[in-house]
Chains A and B, each alone.
Chain A
Amino acid sequence: MPAVTDMGRFGDRRESLWTDSVRFDRKSEARAACPGIHYPVTSTTQSVSPVWYAPIGVPMTPPAATMPETHHLPRVSHGGRVVEFDRGLSLQLRISFEDGLFIASDSRFGLYGSGKSREQAFDDFSEFFVEFFAEITSSKDKDLPPSTREFKKTLAAFGTLRTDG
C-alpha cells in the first residue's frame, strides 16, 4: 500500500496544517526532510525503482536557504540614517519564507518588510523601521494625540536616531 494513500489516519486537522506528500527518490532524503518522523517512510510497491514519500501529516523541513532566522540587531540603518538601540535593548528580527516571499518582522513594534530575497526583505524592513521611527520621534508632542505621544516615549526609550557616518 503506498504511503500516500495510508495517511488518512493522521486526521484532517494535521493535513490542513502541514504539507501534502512529497516524492523523493531516496529514502534518506525523505527522512532528512522529515526529522520528526516516528514511523517508517514507506515506498510504493512498484517493483522497479521504488519511490519514497514523505507522508501527509509530517511537517517538512524547508531547504536550508529558506529556513527561518532570528537576529538581534544593535542598530537599523537606511538612507543615511541609523537607529541605534543604545538603551540596553536590541531589536529581535525574524526572517522567514512564506508564500514565496521572504518576510522580515519584529514582534515588538509589529513592523515588517518583504522581498524575493533575504536581503530585499531586510532592506524593506530597515526602510520601514527608520522611516517610522523618524516620523514619530521627530513630531512635536503638541501635534500628537495622547496614545501616539506615549508610543513616542516608548520608541525614544528604545533607541536614538542619528545621521549615518
Chain B
Amino acid sequence: MADIPRRKIAKSLKAKGFVQTKSGSDHEWFVFCYNDKEYKHIMAKISRGSSYKTYPESLWKRMKIMLRLQKNQEVHDLLTCPMKHEQYLEILRKEGEIS
C-alpha cells in the first residue's frame, strides 16, 4: 500500500478522536479521547524531520497494535480517512476498549 503523508496522518487521527498531547522536536504524540477520558494506551506517535514527510507502509503498519486494529488495511483506512469516526468507535467497542 502507498506511503501516507505525515500531515495527513495527523489530520486523520484528530478526525478519529485523537488529541495531540505532546509535541517535541522529534515526535508528536496522539492519544485517543472518548467521553472526556484519555485512553492513554490507544495512541500514536508521529516522527518529525525530513525523513518522515511521508510514512512508508513499513512505518504506518506498525501503528496497528497501538491503534487497537487487526489489519493493515484498517490502519491505512484510518490514517487516510475512508474509515469514519463512528466506524473506529465500533471497532474499539468490539475489542472491548470502550463501552
Contact = CB atoms under 8 A, between A and B. Distances in A.
Contact of B40 (A114, A116, A139): A139
Given A98-B56, A128-B45, A145 B62 contact: no
B15 interface: no
Contacts of A127: 26
Interface string A120-131: 000010011000
A103 B34 CA distance: 31
Contacts of A151: 41
Interface residues on B, range: 20 to 34
Interface stretch (A2-10, A34-42, A67-75, A104-112): A104-112
A135 B57 CA distance: 27
A132 B96 CA distance: 21
A148 interface: yes
A116 B51 contact: yes
A144 B40 contact: yes
Contacts of B98: 145, 147
A99 B41 contact: no
A128 B40 CA distance: 13
Interface of A: 98-99, 101, 103, 105, 107, 109-112, 114, 116, 124, 127-128, 132, 135-136, 139, 143-148, 151-152
The secondary structure that dominates the A interface is: mixed
B39 A110 contact: no
Given A99-B56, A99-B58, A114-B59, A148 B47 contact: no
B50 to A, nearest CB: 11
B62 A110 contact: yes
B97 interface: yes
A112 to B, nearest CB: 4
Contacts of B97: 147
Contact of A148 (B40, B57, B58): B40
B64 interface: yes
Interface string B38-70: 111111010100010000111100111110000
Interface in B6-43: 26-27, 34-35, 37-43
